[in-house]
Amino acid sequence: MCFCYDDEYAELYREKDVKARKQHKCSECYRPIIKGETYQYIFTIFQGDVSVFKICPVCRDKRQKIHDIEISHGCRENEAWPPFGALMEYLDEYNLKAAVVADSEHCKGENANSANEGLVE
């Protein structure tokens, strides 16, 4: 399928693994990232717009699996990543949605009851 970005690249792109000092919300599944959990922090400037994304471990894994599938189908590196914030939209197509919904280990904690808020069904 390849995600088309018209060969446009971010002016600045930084990612790092961060240990949460407080609760955050995953930019993909909207589930809580629990204090103490390691998540992917991404800071980018694209077409002059600054964006920050916080990706929980489960969504990071699913993004990587989609990337690997796209690379195996001949996509270039910059075309193989789904757009940030659109992961849930693509999970059905890649038969990965059930795995994200079933894996709720990172949702345990005081907000476990609200863990599915915002999850696309």
CATH number of the domain to which 67 belongs = 3.30.1740
Residue 55 falls within a domain, yes or no? Answer: yes
Nearest to 87 by CA among 116, 106, 119, 63: 63
H-type alpha helices, the chain? 57-72, 87-91, 97-102
Residue 121 falls within a domain, yes or no? Answer: no
Nearest to 34 by CA among 114, 97, 121: 114
What pLDDT sits at residue 5? 63
How many domains is the chain partitioned into structurally? 1
Residue 59 falls within a domain, yes or no? Answer: yes
Domain of residue 63 covers 12-112
What pLDDT sits at residue 27? 95
What pLDDT sits at residue 18? 96
And the tokens for 74? 């001949």
The pLDDT tens digits along the chain (121 residues) read 788 666 677 788 899 999 999 999 999 999 999 999 999 999 999 889 999 999 999 999 999 999 998 899 898 887 888 888 888 888 877 776 555 444 444 444 333 333 333 333 3
Residue 96 falls within a domain, yes or no? Answer: yes
Residue 71 falls within a domain, yes or no? Answer: yes
Residue 37 falls within a domain, yes or no? Answer: yes
Residue 76 falls within a domain, yes or no? Answer: yes
Beta bridge partners of 24: 33
* CB neighbourhood size of 17 (10 A): 10
47 and 8 Cβ atoms separated by less than 8 Å: yes
